[in-house]
Chain A
Amino acid sequence: MLAYLIRRLFNAVLTLLVVTAVTFGIFFLVPKATGTDPALLYIGKTSDAASVEGIRVKMGLNDPIVVQYGKFLKGLVAGRDYANGPDVQHCPAPCLGYSFKTDQEVTPLLLGDLPVTLSLALGAAVLWLIMGISTGVISALRRGTVLDRVVMGGALAGVSLPIYFTGLLASAIFVYWLGWLPQGEYVPFTESPGDWFVQLILPWITLAFLFAATYARLTRANMLEILGEDYVRTARAKGLRERAVIGKHALRSSLTPIVTVFGLDLGALLGGAILTEKVFNLRGLGYQALTAIQGNDLPIILGVTLIAASFIVIANLIVDLVYGLIDPRVRLA
């Protein structure tokens, strides 16, 4: 078990290294391909050649890419000093550098965005798990009925609807036409839990609808497969009530694949729900990443990619560990 854990952690770190290296590589090529100089982005176009060169030296933009990447990694672990002669700026670990555009330190900037993304993803996750699994189970138990067809038809429609359409449609209907929900922006939970809830309810429902559709289809398919298994027949034959057959025998094993998918979906969302955040104007990690990409702001892009990839990798790890707990047939080795 311990050996397994160590190996997995080693692999996780390796994956993260490769992700950041690839990101670094790609965005090192951006300025070359498009002819934009990061130093110019950093200081503004009007500056004279000497101060631009100063910035280059200070940010290490003159170093070869490998050296720059090495310094980035060092900053991540041990913090880093940006120095040009007497002008020294210290960036404590975990240092993700400074934004080329606004000169803000990236780590606190992204930490500030994290609550928005966390609120969005976790709230939606609770909703879609409840909605998706319950409709999937009901659909499987009432297989072939009108209810099943309606629910599955709805789920298929849900899978086919992009969030950048449902999101706009939902806010057009509930905010502008019916006026049930106020216009406005994200409010931190610590500031006003009520407003936080009101502002997030539409993004939650929209996002959850999309995922619930997928989960309902998945749950129904798994459930139907399990209901056809011999052990379910045995459970019925030995006189268990239907409730116990479904709840204890069928549901548990049909949910194991859902755990895998859920972990990966949640992991991916925590790294920034770019589309949802864009549609609902939520300033989370995804929104930050999008603005950064459009402005070639390498340090922010790297930071978000690293956080996003970490969430996915951690989610993967947790899923595998949890899998061993809920399914005794799986042995970790």
Chain B
Amino acid sequence: MSLGPEASIKEESTAPVADAADGRGGETAIAGRSLKQIAWRRLKRDKVAMAGAIVVIFLIVVAILAPVLTKWFGHPIDEYHIDQIDPTFSTPIGKFGGISREFLFGVEPTSGRDVFSRILYGAQTSLSVAFLSAVLSTILGTIFGLAAGFLGGWVDAVISRIMDFLLAFPQLLFAIALVSVLPDSFLFFGDRWSRVFVLVGVIGFFGWPYIGRIVRGQTLSLREREFVEASRSMGARSGRILFKELLPNLAAPILVYTTLIIPTNILTEAALSFLGVGIPPPNPSWGGMLSDAVTFYSIDPMYMIIPGGMIFITVLAFNLFGDGLRDALDPKAR
């Protein structure tokens, strides 16, 4: 990750601060025009990464259009279709979990709810949680990492200790505990979005030390560079050095790690929902569907394969794109 400083050293004064803290900035958020172009060219050549990017964009579009798509191709998420269910085994009558022209991904065992619609709405929750918590981790990680690396001394000692401490935590245990303590619904949000924000808070909070460590390390080495010294000797204040000199150079690693933390967050959200502390039923979530599938997977494997496959495809697409982005931004890349 030595590229940030290398590439934009000539550009440091013109580089836009950009939305470094915003994980969704895509390629355009990289500081420094020349670097942006180089990276974009490398990324375009990387077919695997581009494929990942296309799948990611497709999934985002699908999630946004979920209400429309379910109206056209599916059924309301809470509509029961008992006629599709075999009364003796409570499994779908049709083959492969009841997949048919009317029910594209089949129906849920017992209730006969449309799996297609529930998958789409599940994508909505899954992606919003993953994105927002990545943004939260990035903001916290950048602020604390910058503070620790730039200020040094006791600030660094305290922040580093907190990061070590958080990383030494039985995290999943704590996430489960915290999620079950926090209220089910607050303000004017329904229980679905309240829980989404609770999950964002918890996942985002436990994620920041990963980014914080990287930002701190990079800041430590950047701080000693000549261009920072030059800027300081010309009388620049700390604020300017932080935001105009350091942050643009940190944008590349921050962007890469934000992209790579999203798939982890998707997995964590699904894990929490699988364990029954994520999105509360009857709201659809991929992890929740997998947890329901536990009872039925020996007789109706389709109901397990579809949400599991969706998690896999989504996480893989983000990983491919994130890896490609890292290689594009890092000249040392393999």
Contacts and interface: CB of A to CB of B under 8 A. Distances in A.
A143 B334 CA distance: 10
Interface residues of A, number: 46
Interface of B: 165, 168-170, 172-174, 176-178, 180-183, 263, 267, 270-271, 274-277, 287, 290-291, 293-294, 297-298, 301, 304-305, 308, 311-312, 315-316, 319-320, 323, 334
A165 B294 contact: no
Contact of A293 (B180, B274, B294): B180
Given A33-B183, A289-B173, A172 B301 contact: yes
Interface string A287-300: 00110011000000
Contacts of A316: 168
Which among A175, A221, A309 has the greatest number of chain B C-beta atoms within 10 A?
A309
Interface string A27-49: 10110011000000000000000
Contacts of A290: 176, 275
Contacts of A164: 270-271, 274, 287, 290-291
Nearest to A27: B177
Given A156-B319, A165-B311, A272 B170 contact: yes
A168 B312 CA distance: 14
A275 B172 contact: yes
Interface string A279-312: 1000000000110011000000100110011001
Given A23-B177, A165-B304, 15 more contacts: A19-B169, A34-B181, A156-B316, A156-B319, A157-B312, A160-B315, A160-B319, A161-B312, A161-B315, A175-B298, A176-B298, A301-B177, A309-B168, A309-B170, A312-B169
A278 interface: yes
Contact of A172 (B304, B312, B334): B304
B177 A293 contact: yes
Interface of A: 15, 18-19, 23, 26-27, 29-30, 33-34, 143, 156-157, 159-162, 164-165, 168-169, 171-172, 175-176, 221, 224, 268, 271-272, 274-275, 278-279, 289-290, 293-294, 301, 304-305, 308-309, 312-313, 316
Contact of B293 (A30, A168, A294, A304): A168
15 contacts: A30-B181, A33-B183, A157-B316, A160-B263, A160-B319, A161-B312, A162-B267, A164-B270, A164-B290, A165-B290, A168-B293, A275-B271, A275-B274, A290-B176, A293-B176
A160 B311 CA distance: 8
Contacts of B293: 168
Given A160-B312, A293-B176, A169 B305 contact: yes
3 shortest interchain CB distances as A-B pairs = A165-B308, A308-B170, A160-B316
B178 to A, nearest CB: 7
Contacts of A15: 165, 168
B178 A274 contact: no
A273 to B, nearest CB: 9
Nearest to A176: B298
Contacts, number: 116
B275 A272 contact: no
A156 B308 contact: no
Contacts of B271: 162, 164, 275
A203 B312 CA distance: 19
A278 B168 contact: no
B304 A169 contact: yes
Contacts of B165: 15, 18-19
A153 to B, nearest CB: 9
A159 B319 contact: yes
B312 A26 contact: no
Contacts of A289: 173, 176
A175 B277 CA distance: 28
Nearest to B267: A162
A180 B291 CA distance: 24
A305 B170 contact: yes
A168 B298 CA distance: 9
B29 to A, nearest CB: 24
A161 B8 CA distance: 37
Contact of A224 (B178, B301, B319, B334): B334
B180 A274 contact: no
